[in-house]
């Protein structure tokens, strides 16, 4: 299947998606047969319209009701915690796998984990091979794999997978795709990165009331960007010092940030944090361990730190 494939093109990615979904339907059909959800009446094995969804048994009285995981997840998302059949409440942390289905479900979940691991390797090793991004259509496709619409039109997050289930009851912004987008460069990737950021900004904070989730998203993006700086400048050499010095010089021109350019501001802060961490490391080696001499590049780096603090009007770092 992948012998002649170029995973930077949409056609190849869609072939992988089609193959995985075909395998998913085959194993779910063998495990769940003709059983169907008591709520939406869709078969657990799925069909051409929907992906397979494992059965979840709610301990209603006098009769237990078995629904699909998709219906269960939506009930949890809307925090109703009520059976969609009889409206009886169920425990928030209930064990959703019944003894009757447990063996088949565990087999199916193990299969799904293997599929998802395989797909993430394809994305990491082939779609973003050699540090270059795939085509714009592939990036758009990958972004579609980490969100899913509910039956009521809301957008929810899910892990990076070709399967249309496994939603998160609360929004979770995972860093796998984010890190790969950040590691690459180019105008188109920047546009998609901005799209990624703004999409999840709306997901984690739709009411504009809970700023903690927005902060968590910004910190995640900041950490990913800072990690990429460290990965690109791993060796303690002249190039690392020069890169840090250049970042600090740019930081002096952007002490007052433009509030309309949030993603650019986060990237600027990440670069500045990296540069200051490099400077702090060399200061420790020079003045505490006394294992490094101050050469031209190191002097320029330390001077850049001092000028940044002077321009910021803060004496605290000194």
Question: Residue 263's pLDDT is what?
Answer: 81
Burial 235-265 (b: 16+ CB within 10 A, else e): eeeeebbebbbebbeebeeeeeeeeeebbeb
Reported confidence tier of residue 81, pLDDT bands at 50, 70, 90: confident
SS3 call for 5: coil
For 109, other C-beta atoms within 10 Å of its C-beta total 12
Reported confidence tier of residue 52, pLDDT bands at 50, 70, 90: confident
What is the overall mean pLDDT for the chain?
81
State pLDDT tens for residues 221-275. Answer: 888 888 888 888 888 888 999 999 999 999 888 877 777 777 888 889 999 999 9
Q: What tokens were used for 58?
A: 């709610």
Question: Residue 228's pLDDT is what?
Answer: 83
Most confident of 13-17, 43-47, 59-63, 131-135: 13-17
Question: Residue 209's pLDDT is what?
Answer: 52
Q: In this structure, are strands 155-157 and 147-149 parallel, antiparallel, or unpaired?
A: antiparallel
Question: Residue 20's pLDDT is what?
Answer: 93
DSSP for 109-166, written as a single string: HHHHHHHHHHHHHHIIIIITGGG----HHHHHHHHHTTEEE-TTS-EEEB-S-SSS--
Residue 293 buriedness (CB in 10 A; 0-12 / 13-18 / 19+)? exposed
């Amino acid at each position: 299947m992948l012998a002649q494939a170029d995973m930077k093109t949409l056609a190849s990615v869609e072939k992988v998606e089609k193959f995985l979904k075909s395998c998913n339907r085959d194993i779910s059909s063998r495990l769940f047969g003709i059983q169907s959800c008591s709520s939406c009446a869709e078969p657990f094995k799925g069909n051409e319209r929907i992906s397979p969804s494992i059965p979840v048994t709610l301990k209603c009285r006098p009769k237990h009701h078995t629904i699909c995981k998709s219906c269960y997840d939506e009930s949890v998302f809307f925090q109703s915690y009520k059976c969609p059949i009889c409206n009886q409440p169920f425990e928030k942390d209930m064990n959703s796998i019944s003894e009757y289905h447990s063996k088949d479900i565990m087999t199916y979940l193990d299969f799904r984990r293997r599929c998802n691991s395989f797909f993430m390797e394809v994305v990491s090793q082939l779609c973003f091979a050699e540090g270059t991004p795939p085509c714009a259509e592939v990036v758009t496709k990958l972004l579609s794999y980490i969100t899913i619409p509910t039956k009521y039109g809301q957008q929810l997050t899910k892990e990076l997978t070709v399967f249309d289930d496994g939603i998160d009851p609360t929004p979770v912004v995972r860093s796998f795709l984010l890190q790969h987008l950040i590691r690459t460069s180019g105008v188109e990737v920047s546009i998609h990165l901005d799209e990624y950021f703004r999409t999840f900004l709306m997901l984690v904070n739709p009411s504009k009331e809970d700023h903690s989730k927005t902060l968590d998203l910004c910190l995640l993006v900041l950490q990913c960007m800072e990690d990429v700086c460290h990965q690109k400048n791993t060796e303690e050499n002249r190039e690392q010092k020069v890169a840090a010095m250049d970042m600090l010089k740019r930081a002096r021109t952007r002490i007052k940030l433009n509030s309309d350019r949030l993603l650019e501001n986060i990237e600027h802060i990440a670069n500045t944090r990296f540069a200051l961490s490099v400077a702090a490391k060399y200061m420790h080696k020079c003045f505490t361990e006394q294992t490094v001499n101050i050469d031209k590049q190191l002097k320029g780096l330390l001077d850049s730190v001092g000028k940044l603090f002077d321009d910021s009007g803060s004496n605290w770092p000194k």
